[in-house]
């Protein structure tokens, strides 16, 4: 039977492989890294993503290794409320988001696949709309090629070769900390061009992240820089930074992908960050990759064949129609939130904070509705 070839064993690629495996389609995942290492820190998964994980049959396994996100809103650097969420309403209408360690999520995704489905140490060098995949070990013909190879996707060249990631203007640090005392709160706090957030994971660990406006590619002094920027913010931020291990800090400049004209070309479908890498401000990048996976498998199954993009009535064209507008809307909202969060001029930040204090929780709830409403 012709194969589905998935390029990339990240969250999006693994979820896609699970979705096609559940349909009885043979799937092979090609991953460039030699080992399935599990870097990363915490990850928020919103109720829309939890529904996608339920559709893949692993929602409860992920929930069992996660903590429900009880963030009550956004504070300023001294800990005063700027904006409070209506958590009971969120829980009642959609369910609460969860926070999971990325390594735990990847572990669950991998273990839901049959042995041998993932080939590591294979770098894809070219994917063609006619179904040919060239890689460091040779070439294969596929019925369907899924480009799940992340923001710098090689597969994307066959779909949109002139679109490249754009720097968002801010950089991010992430770390998982084991603090000496218990931290049960969740929080995100905004200053001038600076943001800091933290959330409990399982086993007493805390996921902490920080953002700062910086030029693209500027070197970072890692934890020392984060301590310098945030060491005098409200509790428990100084204690979290004191407990952090400098070697465990991850640092990445934040990029986003401009909107593509199509996610599909011939036998290729792009998915996850390869299709719509977005800024992390709404915590939706991986959530959208999980939605993509479920939708792609469903529309391909409904159309009966993997098909090609050109016929218009087949699975791939429908996948594009279903996924592109939604992910573009969410990416745009995420960028806007990031732009507001990273404002740095003193009077503008004072005005922003005043507006946030006056905005009722119901406004945020309404803004989240079109994102969280999604169902497989």
Ligand X SMILES: Cc1cc2nc3c(=O)[nH]c(=O)nc-3n(C[C@H](O)[C@H](O)[C@H](O)COP(=O)(O)OP(=O)(O)OC[C@H]3O[C@@H](n4cnc5c(N)ncnc54)[C@H](O)[C@@H]3O)c2cc1C
**Interface with ligand X by CB under 6 A: which residues?**
7-13, 30-33, 43-44, 123-124, 148-150, 154, 172, 174, 252, 272-274, 280, 283-287, 289
Q: How many CA atoms lie within 13 A of 172 on its CB side?
A: 20
- Tell me whether residue 164 or residue 252 sits nearer to ligand X (CB atom): 252
Residue pair 304/144 in contact (Cβ under 8 Å)? The answer is no
Q: Which neighbouring-strand residues pair with 195?
A: 190, 211
- Tell me whether residue 90 or residue 353 sits nearer to ligand X (CB atom): 90
Both tokens assigned to 320: 């594009």
Q: How far is the CB of 197 from ligand X (least distance, A)?
A: 9
Residue pair 27/117 in contact (Cβ under 8 Å)? The answer is yes
Q: How far is the CB of 165 from ligand X (least distance, A)?
A: 11
Q: Can you give the three-state secondary structure of 158-196, one letter per residue?
A: HCCCCCCCEEEEEEEEEEEECCCCCCCCCEEEECCCEEE
Rounded CA-CA distance 180/206 in Å is: 11
Those residues with Cβ within 8 angstroms of residue 3's Cβ, 6 or more apart along the chain or in another chain: 26, 27, 28, 140, 142, 143
- Tell me whether residue 30 or residue 144 sits nearer to ligand X (CB atom): 30
Q: How far is the CB of 211 from ligand X (least distance, A)?
A: 8
- Tell me whether residue 20 or residue 353 sits nearer to ligand X (CB atom): 20
Q: How far is the CB of 50 from ligand X (least distance, A)?
A: 11
Residue pair 240/265 in contact (Cβ under 8 Å)? The answer is no
- Tell me whether residue 210 or residue 353 sits nearer to ligand X (CB atom): 210
Q: How far is the CB of 270 from ligand X (least distance, A)?
A: 9
- Tell me whether residue 103 or residue 305 sits nearer to ligand X (CB atom): 103
Q: How far is the CB of 228 from ligand X (least distance, A)?
A: 20
């Amino acid at each position: 039977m012709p194969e589905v070839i998935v390029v990339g064993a990240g969250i999006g690629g693994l979820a896609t492989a699970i979705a096609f495996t559940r349909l009885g389609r043979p799937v092979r995942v090609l991953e460039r890294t030699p080992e399935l290492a599990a870097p990363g820190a915490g990850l928020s998964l919103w109720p829309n993503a939890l529904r996608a994980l339920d559709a893949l049959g692993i929602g409860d396994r992920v929930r069992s290794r996660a903590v429900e996100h009880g963030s009550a809103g956004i504070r300023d650097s001294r800990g005063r409320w700027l904006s409070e969420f209506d958590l009971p309403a969120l829980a009642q209408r959609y369910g609460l988001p969860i926070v999971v360690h990325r390594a735990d999520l990847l572990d669950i995704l991998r273990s839901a696949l049959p042995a041998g489905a993932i080939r590591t140490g294979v770098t894809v060098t070219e994917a063609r709309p006619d179904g040919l995949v060239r890689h460091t070990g040779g070439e294969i013909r596929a019925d369907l090629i899924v480009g799940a190879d992340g923001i710098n996707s090689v597969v994307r060249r066959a779909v949109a070769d002139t679109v490249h990631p754009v720097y968002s203007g801010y950089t991010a640090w992430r770390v998982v900390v084991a603090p000496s005392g218990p931290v049960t709160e969740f929080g995100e706090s905004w200053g001038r061009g600076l943001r800091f957030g933290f959330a409990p994971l399982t086993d007493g660990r805390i996921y902490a992240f920080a953002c700062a406006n910086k030029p693209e590619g500027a070197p970072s002094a890692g934890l020392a820089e984060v301590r310098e920027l945030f060491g005098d913010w409200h509790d428990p931020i100084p204690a979290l930074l004191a407990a952090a291990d400098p070697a465990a800090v991850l640092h990445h400049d934040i990029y986003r992908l401009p909107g593509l004209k199509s996610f599909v070309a011939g036998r290729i479908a792009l998915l996850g960050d390869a299709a719509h890498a977005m800024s992390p401000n709404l915590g939706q990048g991986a959530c959208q990759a999980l939605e993509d996976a479920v939708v792609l498998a469903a529309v391909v199954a409904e159309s009966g064949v993997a098909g090609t993009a050109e016929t218009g009535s087949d699975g791939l064209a429908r996948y594009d129609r279903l996924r592109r507008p939604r992910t573009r809307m969410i990416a745009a909202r995420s960028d806007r939130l990031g732009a507001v969060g990273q404002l740095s001029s003193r009077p503008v930040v004072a005005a922003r904070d005043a507006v946030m204090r006056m905005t009722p929780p119901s406004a945020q709830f309404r803004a989240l509705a079109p994102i969280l409403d999604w169902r497989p």
